[in-house]
Structure 1
């Protein structure tokens, strides 16, 4: 008696297992695979958009800091001019009337300079405030995109567990999580 051992190639074995498994499991596995691939694709897009938006937030915040630093420099310059103006006023008060004319001319010059410097400082502060507001406005949709990514990742995890366990209710939970993520993403897109 001769017994022969016959082995199947991996692709034949997979086809054999697929033929033995119930149709609904195979169908569920296919749906889970397609669903997971779609979520991964959407997740990649959301991640890219979120990263791009965060870069915009950081650029606006950097602009706000830069304009605030320029405004601070202008206010320091304003203080220096004010100090010079006060020194000239002191010189006028301590100098005989006949010799005070050059100091009075300096006071007029410094008064004029202060107005210009003050206007520039206020304008720079407004630019800083506007950049800060733009940064905050851009950050709101970024937060929604980050939360959307969390929901999409939860959906992918639930879909993976569905593939392992065959529990259809988990797939339903994955779909709900995915809908929440896609909904937040769409809201974030509308805000940006």
Structure 2
């Protein structure tokens, strides 16, 4: 699975320009708070993106392991069926009970790998939601600087807090 890209470079440039433009003017301090909080949102988005990519990769690896186990299970089952049909029994041929026991162990490993894959995929989805919320919060905060509307910044902070909630849920 591919990693989540976080295109925020142009927002950082716009925020920096507006911060410098407002420096020394009335409201320059609030612009600084907005700029710092937006940078923090970008850091959290990057962390969430990195973790989402990790869990995506782990989900894929676990799914491959599960597929391998199921293929092995099928191969052993086919081999046992062919062996059972052969009128000449080999002296070290596995008994049907051994085949069943081995098959159950392989099946258990396959199911465990599938369970792990699903766990990582759910973490990926949660962290991807966090990235999305952080990106929206960054955009709203950038718009607040451009429009000089502090209410938009508060909205961005609320959205970022929701993203932080998803980030924490994805970590735990």
Q: Same fold (TM over 0.5)?
A: yes
Deviations 1:90-132 (A, max 9, x none): xxxxxxxxxxxxx6xx39875x533323322221111101100
Q: Provide the alpha-carbon RMSD of the alignment.
A: 2.3
Distance verdict in 2 for CA 1:83–1:138, change over 3 Å: same
The answer to whether the aligner puts 1:182 opposite 2:164 as a matched pair is yes
Paired residues in the alignment total 154
CA distance in 2, matches of 1:50, 1:16: 36
Larger Rg: 1
Long gaps (5+) in structure 1: 1-13, 89-102
After superposition, the C-alpha distances for 1:65-89 in whole angstroms (9 at most, x for unaligned) are 01111001011111101221xxx3x
2:131, 2:34 → 1: CA distance?
Answer: 18
Aligned pair 1:78/2:80, yes or no? yes
**Structure-1-length-normalised TM-score:** 0.73
Where do 1:1-192 residues align within 5 Å?
18-19=23-24, 21=25, 23-24=26-27, 26-84=28-86, 88=87, 106=89, 112-190=94-172
For structure 2, the residue ranges without an aligned partner over 5 or more in a row are 1-18
Report the 3-state secondary structure (helix = DSSP H, G, I; strand = E; otherwise coil) of the residue aligned with 2:95. Answer: helix
Q: Is the 8 A contact 1:74 1:121 kept in 2?
A: yes
Given the two structures, how large is their TM-score scaled by the length of structure 2?
0.81
Between the aligned partners of 2:20 and 2:49, the Cα distance in structure 1 is: 37
Separation (CA, whole Å) in 2 of partners of 1:16 and 1:59 = 49
CA distance in 1, matches of 2:138, 2:120: 27
**CA 1:30/1:15 → structure 2, altered by over 3 Å: closer, same or farther?**
closer
More helix by share: 1
1:17 & 1:68 partners in 2: Cα distance?
63
